[in-house]
Structures are given as C-alpha cells and as structure tokens.
Structure 1
Amino acid sequence: MTVTTANLQTFKERGQPITALTATEYAIAKLIDRAGVDLILVGDSLAMVALGHKNTLPVTLDQMIHHAQAVGRAVENALLVVDLPFMSYQESDEQALRSAGRVIKETQAQALKLEGGYPDMVDRVSRIVQVGIPVMGHIGLTPQAVHRLGFRKQGIDEAAAAEIFKQAEALVEVGVFALLLEHMPVELAGKITQAVPIPTIGIGAGDACDGQILVTHDLLGLSAWQPPFAPKYIDLSTIITTILQKYCQDVQDHNFPTN
C-alpha cells in the first residue's frame, strides 16, 4: 500500500502508531521502505549526516532536491516528505512557493516540511497549502534556528510551552496534515497531541505522540554526534570499520583476491 496523508489521519483516529525515519540516498531508502516504515523524510539533517556540516544551515535547495531524487527512486510504499532548507522559504511567500513547487515538480515528494510556527511562517505555510501541496509543520526545537535556540529542549517553562501550543493551533488552522514535535517536554507534546485533530510525530517528545521519527544515521550508530534523545539501536560504525580493516588486512596479506 502506498501511504498517503489521508492514511496517516486514519492511523491517528484508530490509534495506530505512525513510524517514520529519514533517508538521504537510494540504498538505505530502499531498505527503509522495504521494512514497512510509514513515512520517509528527506530531512535537512542530511547536511550533518551526509555532507559533514556542523548544523543544518548550509544545505541548499538544489542539494535537497538531488538527495530527494535519489530517495524517490527507492520508495514505493512510504509517504515521501522533503524538508525545505534554510533560506529557501524565509524571505517571502513568493520564494516559499517557488521552492515548494521545485521540490514537488523535480522529485517524487508527496509533501513538504517547514520549520516554525510564528505568524509569518504560518502565512507562508497557508500559501503553500492553498496551491495543493501538503505541508507538515515542525515546532519545538527547530534546527534551522540553531543560532537562536541551540539544540536545547524547548517549551520548558509555562510561557514557552504556551507559545508552542499556540503555534500548533495556528498551523492546524491553515491546514497542515501533521505536526513534527521536536525535543519538548512529554507533557506538552501529549497536550498538543490530544488537542489537535491531525497526527503528531515526535522526536525527543515522549510516547504520547501519534508517531515517532528518528534520523536513521542516529538509529544505526553512524552519526558523528548522537542527540541525547536518539537511541542507538546498533553500532554500525564500529562493525563497518572492523570489516573495512579486515579487507585492508586481507589485501596486505595477499589473502584477497584468492585467484
């Protein structure tokens, strides 16, 4: 079954947890899709895990499209969502529409994700939704605001929590199909999830959300930096390094090739 935004809404209504992971290239995306993950995000986190940057800010729209095209060739079943990167939509509604249109026209993405819920961003999301492009909102810790927010948990005090809740309501009002809730108190994420009619996808926001997402490189132990809320299911970095060292040793010892 090809998962759609409507399917995610059905999952929320019947209490079926939504699974989501990131992908940056064809081979891993193929495995993620084959595993039955509901939603695959080509996130701007690829700036860090695939391109070696210290944060998500340097990745360009062209680079996002390039990676999304590769992932799109692999995905047959999951809902494919692509991030709009930093400064590809903040300048104006018109810029946001142009960037959104490029991603939808040049990749197989079915939806986009934009960070932030402040008034200008809500208007921007509204314009994109109005032309028929599904948008996932993203509130709480928003990595594109790293120089203002850092990588700290958001919504800790009462005023900050109230502001994030207000952002959630505003984004729902303009028609986002889901909300990504990042690195916020479990209680706040649960309150938002109960209050909004659309699915919430959590990352570092506890188990009250309608679904969960992780950066796949974190999950597999391939990231240079592991966020405190991201469990490492396996340490592939060590396993792969050991295998590569074995190959080098076999070549040096004339054990490879064998003929």
Structure 2
Amino acid sequence: MIRLKDLHALKAAGEKMVCLTAYDATQSYWAAQNEVEILLVGDSLGMVVQGHDTTLPVSMDEMIYHTQMVQRRNHQAWCMVDMPFMSDATLETGVHNAGRLMKEGGANMVKLEGRTEFHRQLVSALSEQGIPVCAHLGLLPQSVHKTGYRMVGKDAAEAEHLLADAQRFEAAGADMLLLECVSPSIAKVITEALTIPVIGIGAGPDTDAQVLVWHDVMGLTIGGAPSFSRNFLADTGSVGSAIQAYVKAVKTGDFPE
C-alpha cells in the first residue's frame, strides 16, 4: 500500500507520479492494479457521473458514498478525496467534514480548494488533527460562477501570487499541492520551490505528478474532453491497457506534451 512518505520519496528522487480520478469500485480496482499511485475521488463526479453543469451540487454524503466504493477495491493506491462545496465554510465544519471523509469514507487525504488566509488556517487545523491535506490552487471549479474557466498565472503578478500562496500552504502544513489550469512556466517554478509533491492538471509537463479524469482517459466525456487531456483507450482497446498507456506516458514524459 502506498503511503504519504512514499509519495514524498518519489518527489525527492525526481520520479514522476500518476494520479487518476475514480468514483466506484471497478474504476479503483483497474487503476490501482495498473500502477496508479494516487486515486482522486473528485467532486468532478457531479459533472461526469451525475450530469450537473458544475461540481457545486455534490454533497458530503455523496462524497463519502463514492469514497467507500472506491476504497472497497483499492488495495494499493493513496486515496485523496475532495471536500465538496461549502463543506469547509468554517474551521469547525471543515474539520468535522474532513474527519467524516477519513472515518466514514476511508479516505487517506482530503483536498480543499481556496487561496485565502482562512484556507491556510483550515490546513493548519486539519494537520494538527493528523489529517493529511492537499491544497488546490489555480482554476477553482467550486468558484466557477465568480472566476470562470481560465488558465491562471499567465501574467507576472498573478504568477507571483501563485508562488507565494503555494509556499504559504506548504508552511501551513499542506502535504501535497494540486495546480489546475496553471501556466506551465509558473507551475515549473512552484514545483521546484516546494518540498511537497505537486500534482498538475492542465499545468504542463514539469509538475511531480499528473492527474486526469477517468472519463477523459477512456474517451467517455460528454461534450468533449479538455484540450490538455488524451483519450488513451482509442489506441489500446481495453481499460487495463489504456491505464497502462497513461501511466507509461506520464512516467516517460510523453504526457502531457
């Protein structure tokens, strides 16, 4: 079973890591059996599983339910789970709901979106309770109605703020960082500046790990997949082979291009 210390050791050794979303037992089984180090039970399930336009409707009970399914057949990968929208509105509710994901869902780590001082305080509070945390910066899907969907960090001032935020989260106790739709140039700088693993999605090739949504890897996304993703099933013909191809592409640097 992969532990947090193993992921930190891979970062220190300069070895690329692979992350893939999973929402049920079958997906987690195939991912973990094919050398995916990190599973993400993402609130993206609201869009790719439930059919919503955003991730906002997903509830705590639904996240716990899907985490339970994933963990029943996951005997290898580290399991990271999203804190759904408004589940961390206060420090008290954030700690309580993160505890639920760990205790009821069986998560190994929680992931939370946001860049404010409040979010850093929550990271510290969770760390003090022994709950591993992945901070999420860049494009924030839970804030889509305010910020929209766009690449973050293309101008110098925004890039500087991203780097400062990343360093503050590491200092606050974050164990990993996820960068979504971040300019590759600043994603590289952040990855090199931090001692914790940095996962990228649409953030270029230089992060420590890459993550994709299961449905994008398998060519199942309704309405078209993001431009940074790749359909690995098209050229392989089976679920297991598609995941193996994704893992190999990340490890060798062939993905992302």
| Aligned match of 2:28 | 29
Q: CA deviation at 1:58?
A: 0.6
CA distances 1:179-208 after superposition (whole Å, capped 9, x unpaired): 111111111000001111111111111111
Structure with more relative contact order (C-alpha pairs < 8 Å, separation 6 or more): 2
Aligned ranges 1:95-114 → 2 under 5 Å: 95-114=93-112
Cα displacement (A) at 1:158 = 1.3
Question: Residues 27-176 of structure 1 correspond to what in structure 2 (within 5 A)?
Answer: 27-89=26-88, 91-176=89-174
Q: Offset at 1:86? A: 0.4
Deviation, structure 1 residue 141: 0.8
Unaligned runs of 5+ in 2: 239-257
1:193 equivalent in alignment to 2:191: yes
What displacement does 1:218 show?
A: 0.8
State the AA in 1 paired with 2:8.
Q
SS at match of 1:101: helix
RMSD value, Cα: 1.7
Letter matched to residue 102 of structure 1: R
- Normalised by the length of structure 1, the TM-score is 0.88
Report Cα offsets for 1:106-142 as digits up to 9, x if no partner: 0221111111221111111111111000001110111
Give the greater-gyration-radius structure (CA): 1
Secondary structure of the 1:24 match is coil
**Correspondence for 1:204 among 202, 205, 209:** 202
Contact 1:117 / 1:170 at 8 angstroms: preserved in 2?
no
Instruction: Give 1:42's aligned amino acid.
Output: V
Structure 1 spans left out of the alignment, 5+ residues: 240-259
CA-to-aligned-CA distance 1:74-118 (integer Å, 9 cap, x gap): 1000001111000000x2100101101111110221111111221
- Residue 77 of structure 2 aligns with an amino acid whose one-letter code is A
Task: Quote the Cα distance in structure 2 between the aligned partners of 1:52 and 1:74.
Answer: 25
Between the aligned partners of 1:159 and 1:224, the Cα distance in structure 2 is 35
**Distance between the aligned counterparts of 1:194 and 1:114, measured in 2?**
22
Aligned AA (2:136): H
Shift of 1:159: 1.4
- Bigger CA drift: 196-205 or 158-167? 158-167
TM-superposed CA distance for 1:10, in Å, is 0.2
**CA separation in 1, counterparts of 2:78 and 2:221?**
24
Shift in Å at residue 235 of structure 1? 4.7
Is the Cα–Cα contact under 8 Å of residues 48 and 56 in structure 1 kept in the other structure?
yes
Find the aligned partners of 2:24 and 2:45 in 1 and give their Cα distance: 10
Q: After TM superposition, where is structure 1 displaced by more than 4 Å over at least 4 residues in a row?
A: none
**2-structure distance, mates of 1:108, 1:120:** 26
Percent identical pairs in the alignment equals 40
Asked if the contact 1:20/1:38 (under 8 Å) is kept, the reply is: yes
1:48 alignment partner AA: M
Q: How many residues align?
A: 237
Shift of 1:234: 2.7
TM-score, normalization by structure 2: 0.89
1:51-87 CA-partner distances (Å, limit 9, x unpaired): 1011111100000000010001010000011110000
Distance 1:74 1:155 in 2: 38
- d(CA) in 2 for partners of 1:64 and 1:175? 24
